[in-house]
Chains A and B, each alone.
Chain A
C-alpha cells in the first residue's frame, strides 16, 4: 500500500512541477495546490499506513493508529488553505492592476534601471 501511495505522490509532484513551470498564473496556483496535496499525502504515508482504531484509550481496541501525522496534516492543510486563498486574491488584484496574468510579461527587468 505504501508503494502505491508513493507512486501517487510522485505523480502529483510531477503534475505540480509541470503546472508551476507554466506561464499562466492560474495554472501556477493550481500547481501549488497540488504540491501541498502531495506533501500532505507524503506525511500520511511516511507515518505508516496502519489499520487500527482511533487513538483514544479504551479497553476494546488492541492497536491504535499514529495520531501525530494526522495532527500535522491538519495544521499543514489549514496553512496551505490560507496561503492559496491569499494567492488567488493576489492574482486577481494583480490581473486588475497589471492587466496580464502571463509570467513572461511579469518579469519586470526594466524597472531596475
Chain B
C-alpha cells in the first residue's frame, strides 16, 4: 500500500480545479501551472526510483482489497510514461506562455491542460479496466474542449468529427467491458488476467480481445482507424497539437500494450498476427502520407501514424527484445514528436505559412532553430547516437529473431522514408534563398524565447539517446513485468 502512487493524478486535478477560479488572472495561472508541472516532474521521478528499488507500487482505493476495490498500480512502464508526460507538459506549458493567444488563456486553457493530464496519467496508472474507460473519458472530454477552444471555423468543423469518432469508440469500449465482465466476472486487470489464464483464453475471450483492439486502435490511430487524425489534429494551435500528438495516441498504444501482454496473451497466433498485419499496413499508409503533403503539420502528423505502426509492430512480435524496443521507442517518440511539433510551430510563426514551398532560407534568420530541427529530424529517423536508434534496433532485432523478416525490413525501410520526409522540410525551409514573408505587425514579435522549451525537450532526448544503457536498466524492469504477468498479478492481489 502506497499513497504516493495517486499523486500524479491528484496534483493536476487539484491544480486544475484551483485554476478555474483564476481565469482572468493569466499571469497567476501561468505561475501556478508551472509550479504544478515542476512538482509533477519531481513526483514522477521519485516514483520511478521507488518502483526501481521496491518493485511495483500499488494503492487499493479506500482500502478495499483487490479485486473488490479500484487498484492504482505503478509498474515501471507506467512510471516511465508518467515521467515523460510530465516533462512534455512542463515544456509545452512554457511554450504556451508566448504562443497561445490571450483569449484562449482567459478561457480555461491552463485548467484544461491539467485535466487532460489527469486523464492521461490516470490511464497509465489504473489497474482496473472500467477505471481505464473513465480516465479515457476524462482525457477525451478535455481534449474535445482543447480542440475547439478559440472557436475558429476549422476547429468547430473538425471537433464535430473528432467527437463523433470518439463517442462511438467509447460506446464500443463500454460494450467490450460488458462482454468481458459477463465472461470473467471481474474488472480488476490482475484478476482478469488470472482468470483468463485459468481457462486458457477460450474463443469468446479472443473475440473480445479483438473488440478491445478496435477500441484502442481508434484512439491510437492504427490502420484503418487513423483516418480521423490528420483532419482533426490539423485544426488546433501548435501547443495543443503537440500535447495531442505526443500523449493521446500513446495512451491508446499503452492500452494495447497493457491488455495484449497482461490479459490476452494466450492465443498470439491469432490476435498478434492480426496486429502484425495491421501494424505493417499502418506503417505503409503512414509512409504514403508523409510523402504526399507539402504542409509541415500534415507531414509530422502522418509521422505519428508511422511511429504508431512501428510500436505496434514491436508489440505484435511479442518477444523480449521487440517489447523492450517498443517501450524504448514509445518514450523516445513522445519526447521527439512534441519537440518537432513545437519546432514547426516556431517555423510557422516566423513565416506565416505552413507550406514548405513558401518557406526558405530560415537558417540565415535563426541558425539555432535550424540545427535543433536537424537534430530532432535525424533523431526521429533513428540515426545513432540519438534516441530513436536503440528502440528501432531492438524492434528489428526482435522481429528477425521471431522470424518476421519482411516486417523487420519494412520497419527499416520506413526509417528511410521518415528521414526523407523530415529532410525535405529541412531542405525546403532552411536552405535556399531567404524569402520575404508578409506577416501582420503583431506576428513579427521576437520569439526566440520559444527555443527554451524546445531546447529542454531536445536535451532530454539527447541524454536519453546517449544514456541508452542506463535507460535500458529501467526499461528492462518494465519489460520483465510485461513478459511475466504473474509479477503484476502477485503485486496487485497479494498486496494487503
Complex Cα distance A35/B347, Å?
43
- Identify which of B148, B168, B182 contacts A46 (C-beta below 8 A): B182
Chain B neighbourhood of A98, CB < 8 A: 153, 156-157
- Give Cα A20–Cα B234 distance, bound, in whole angstroms: 24
Would you call A93 and B164 a contact (CB within 8 A)?
no
What B residues does A69 contact at CB under 8 A?
178, 181
Known: A94-B156, A106-B157. A79 touches B178 (CB 8 A): no
Chain B residues within an 8 Å CB radius of A111: 154
Residue B298 at the chain A interface, CB threshold 8 Å = yes
B contact residues around A72 at 8 Å (CB):
130, 174, 177-178, 181
Q: Which of A74-110 contact B (CB under 8 A)?
A: 75-76, 79-80, 82-83, 86-87, 90-91, 93-94, 97-98, 106, 108
Tell me which residues across on chain A come within 8 A of B130, comparing CB atoms. 72, 75
Which residues of B lie under 8 Å from residue A79 when comparing CB positions? 134, 137, 170
Q: How far is the CB of A4 from chain B (nearest CB, A)?
A: 16
A75-B160 CB under 8 A given contacts A36-B171, A83-B141, A112-B234: no
Q: With A and B bound together, what is the CA distance between A25 and B288 in angstroms?
A: 32
Q: A66 CA to B326 CA in the complex, in Å?
A: 40
- Residue numbers in A under 8 Å from B148 (CB-CB): 90
* A86 and B141 contacting across the interface, CB-CB below 8 Å: yes
Interface footprint category on A: 35 or more
Q: How far is the CA of A86 from the CA of B187 in the complex (A)?
A: 29
Complex contact B181–A43 (CB within 8 A) = yes
**How many B residues face the partner with a CB closer than 8 A?**
37
With both beta carbons as reference points, the residue of chain B lying nearest to A44 in the complex is identified as B178
Q: How far is the CB of B141 from chain A (nearest CB, A)?
A: 7
A35 with B179: CB separation less than 8 A: no
Q: B227-253: which residues lie under 8 A (CB-CB) from chain A?
A: 231, 234
Kindly state the separation between the CA atoms of A87 and B156 in the bound complex, as whole angstroms: 11
Q: By the criterion CB–CB under 8 Å, are A75 and B134 in contact?
A: yes
Q: Is the CB of A94 within 8 A of B168?
A: no
- CB of A94 within 8 A of CB of B177, answer no
Interface of A is mostly: helix
- The reply to whether the CB of A28 lies closer than 8 angstroms to some CB of chain B is yes
CB neighbors of A among B118-155 (8 A):
130, 133-134, 137, 141, 144-145, 148, 151, 153-154
The answer to whether B164 touches A32, judged by C-beta atoms less than 8 angstroms apart, is yes
Contact of B231 among A68, A86, A97, A108 (CB under 8 A): A108
Are the CB atoms of B298 and A94 closer together than 8 Å? no
CB contact list, B2-45 vs A, under 8 A: none
Is the C-beta of A30 less than 8 angstroms from some C-beta in chain B? no
A65 at the interface (CB under 8 A from B): no
B210-241 to A contact mask, C-beta < 8 Å, 1/0: 00000000000000000000010010000000
Judge whether B158 and A43 touch: CB under 8 Å: no
Question: Does B483 interact with chain A (Cβ within 8 Å)?
Answer: no
**Which residue, B133, B134, B153, B178, has most C-beta atoms of chain A within 10 A?**
B178
Is the pair B174, A90 in contact by a Cβ cutoff of 8 Å? no
Contact of A39 among B175, B231, B295 (CB under 8 A): B175
Q: Is the CB of B167 within 8 A of A87?
A: yes
Contacting residues, chain A, for B163 (C-beta < 8 A): 83, 86-87, 90
The reply to whether B154 and A108 contact each other, CB–CB distance below 8 Å, is yes
CA distance A34 to B148 in the complex (A): 24
Contacts of A46 in B (CB 8 A): 178-179, 181-182
A52 close to chain B: CB less than 8 A: no
The reply to whether the CB of B415 lies closer than 8 angstroms to some CB of chain A is no
B137 partner residues in chain A, CB cutoff 8 A: 79, 83
Is B60's beta carbon under 8 Å from chain A?
no
Chain B residues engaging chain A, CB cutoff 8 angstroms: 130, 133-134, 137, 141, 144-145, 148, 151, 153-154, 156-161, 163-164, 167-168, 170-172, 174-175, 177-179, 181-182, 187, 231, 234, 293, 295, 298
Query: When A and B form their complex, which 9 residue pairs have the shortest distance between CB atoms, in order from nearest?
Result: A46-B182, A94-B156, A39-B174, A43-B178, A46-B178, A39-B171, A35-B171, A32-B167, A79-B137
Known interface pairs A32-B168, A43-B174, A90-B156; 11 further A-B residue pairs with C-beta atoms within 8 A, sorted by A's residue number: A43-B181, A69-B178, A75-B130, A83-B144, A86-B144, A86-B163, A94-B160, A97-B151, A98-B153, A108-B157, A112-B298
Q: List 10 A-B contacts (CB under 8 A).
A: A39-B171, A68-B181, A69-B181, A72-B174, A75-B134, A79-B170, A87-B163, A97-B151, A97-B156, A112-B293
